[in-house]
Structures are given as structure tokens and as C-alpha cells.
Structure 1
Amino acid sequence: MIKKILIGIVVAFILLMIIGALLGDDTTDSTTNSEVSSSAEPAELIAVTARELFTAYDKNEVAADKQFKGKMLEVTATVSSIDSGFSDNAIVQLNTGNDFQSVSAEGDETFTDIASTLNKGQEVTMICQGGGEIIGSPMLDNCVIQ
């Protein structure tokens, strides 16, 4: 019974995150995956784990936005789930050590194709643009799985 309630809460939370992402006011520049992969140089990347990203936003969202939002990140984490968004694009949830919140990573059709080969519990590294935080969970946009 408790497990069903927790699953219901997690599903509702994920739906709220997706709705928030669609309705949110994102003022960062939009970049396509091809631009991300061709223009990102290793010196420009900020290496961070999903857990570190989550902790930074949990401690101080304003400071974390200044450090990560709109910047190119090399994120390494364990996959906690691979979900399908409204337009059937993949949303890869990255483990943060918090059972109820994850880092959400999204990309284009190529990202979705590669995400379909991932498994829960698999370690992954991706290059993404920091997308801020929605409902307590850091967002990663325009991701390219390495």
C-alpha cells in the first residue's frame, strides 16, 4: 500500500516537472545538439556529477544558476530511469542520491535513439547545456550522450 502511494507521488512529481518544463519561462539561448557537439571545446566544459549539480541547486538555486545555467556541462551519473516525454522524446533521469528527485536530461531525436539503448543503473556521461531548476530538480537541455 505504501509502495503504491510512493509510486503515485513520484509519477505525479514527474508529470509536474514535465508540465513545468513546458510552461516555464526559460530565457537561456536555445542550442541544437549539432551545435553543442561541434562548438563545445573541452576547455569550455564544466565537469560535474548529477549529485553535485543537485546538491548545488539544493543549497542555493541563485548561486547554482550563475554557475551552471546556460553553460556547457559534462555530466556523469547513473541512470535512474528513461522516460518518454509528451512528444515521445526521451527524458533520462539521473540519480542524485535523493529517492524523490533526479536531474532530468533531454535532447533531440539522436539523443532519444541513444537513450533507448540505456538501462537503469548504467553509468553515463553526456554533454548538456545547464537548464536551471524546475520544482527542485536540475534540468539539462540539448544533451549529447557520449
Structure 2
Amino acid sequence: MFYRVGDKGAESLIFWLCVCLIVLLAYSSGVMSKDSPPEVVSAVTLIEAYDRNEIAADTNYNDKYFQFTGKVTDIGKDILGKMYIMLDGTGFSGVQVFFPDSAEASLAKLSNGLRVSVVCKVGGKTIYVFCNDAVLK
């Protein structure tokens, strides 16, 4: 027998094998599928959530992918040259959505006032709520 009660190394190994098995089962069942479609949320809903309670909004949205729909109110580059669009922006409110350089041709076709959908990873709020790794849908 290669396991003795109280053997901390073996207990740790068994624990991590169980964790790996659970994660593997979750992926194979689709519960944690990377390919599953992200939840659809309006840009206004995201803005309102952050305006109400930034801590609660971070808990629900930060570091997670969502599909957002909203009206384009600005198209540009930040001071570092990163391309973005602003969804439902007014004053110091809105969702600033950052895109990779490969999206330049798609972004060049957009105009203010157009309603678009994007899939992106929420990054929290500084002045605006912001998202990274965006893809136009």
C-alpha cells in the first residue's frame, strides 16, 4: 500500500488529483466551457451596476467575458495608441471597449450612433467602465 493515514504528501496529492478531476468533469460537461456563449448584457445595465455599487459590480462582472450591446458614442485611440469605442457614453459615463490592433479595419467602418454588439472582458472602472480583448459581433 502506498498511502498511510497522516502522510501529508499523499493527502496533498490526493486533494489535487480530486481538484483536477472536478475541473476536467466540469469542462467536459460544458459547465466551464470556454466556447459557451457569454451572457448578453446591455452597456447601460453595466454602467448602472457600477454607478450603484462598484464593489458589487466588480464581483459580478470584473475579469469575466460578456456580450454587450450599445450605441457607439466615440471611436478613437487612447494616449498609448490603443483603439477603443465608447458605448452609451455621456460625460464621464460609458463603457470604453478596447480592441487589439487586428480590429483596425472593422473599427474604421464604424460611426457614431451605430448600435453594435461586442464580446469583451470587463476590467472594472476608472473614469469609465472599461473592457479589454474585444471582438465585434
SS of residue in 2 equivalent to 1:73: strand
Partner of 2:14: none
Larger Rg: 2
Gapped regions of structure 1 (runs ≥ 5):
1-38
Deviation readout 1:17-66 (Å, 9 max, x if unpaired): xxxxxxxxxxxxxxxxxxxxxx4421xx1211110000000000000001
Q: Which has the higher helix share?
A: 1
Deviation readout 1:106-131 (Å, 9 max, x if unpaired): 02012233111100000100100011
Gapped regions of structure 2 (runs ≥ 5):
1-33
Partner of 1:122: 114
Q: Give the letter for the 2:93 counterpart.
A: Q
SS of residue in 2 equivalent to 1:95: strand
Equivalenced residue count is 104
Work out the percentage of aligned pairs sharing the same amino acid: 26
Compute the displacement of 1:83 (Å): 1.1
Q: Which has the higher strand share?
A: 2
SS of residue in 1 equivalent to 2:109: coil
Compute the displacement of 1:101 (Å): 1.7
The alignment yields a C-alpha RMSD, in angstroms, of 1.4
Q: Is the 8 A contact 1:40 1:72 kept in 2?
A: no
Residue 94 in structure 1 maps to residue 79 in structure 2: no
TM-score (norm 2): 0.70
Measured in 2, the distance between the counterparts of 1:130 and 1:90 equals 16
